[in-house]
Amino acid sequence: MPSELEKTMESLIMVFHRYAGKEGSHGSLTRRELRTLMENELAAFLKSQKDPTTVDRIMRDLDANGDGEVNFEEFVSLVVGLSIACEKCYRMQLKKTRSWK
């Protein structure tokens, strides 16, 4: 039976491939595919952004090899960055909660 972490990794892979390859290369996301993925899977994050060019900026930042598409490795760096930011918020909230006790 897979562990919680193994299921999470599988989910990450499946989400990526659900959106990848419909327009461009089979194993990568075009700008439009990345936007669709983020609108569906990271809707709260996108809504919190004030800049309407957020997806374009993220695409530019993620596309390390400059091919105009985001491969799985580049995509994972987005997930890692967002996870780190969320974990920092979690720790700050935990500190606030503990200070009330």
Helical H segments across 1-101, by residue range: 4-19, 31-41, 43-48, 54-62, 72-100
Q: For 1-47, how does the pLDDT look when each residue is reduced to its tens digit (9 = 90+)?
A: 999 999 999 999 999 999 998 887 889 999 999 999 999 998 888 88
**Which range marks the domain in which residue 76 is found?**
4-100
Average pLDDT of the residues of the chain: 88
CA 5/CA 17 separation, integer angstroms: 19
Please give the tally of structural domains in the chain: 1
Q: Residue 80 sits in a domain of what CATH number? A: 1.10.238.10
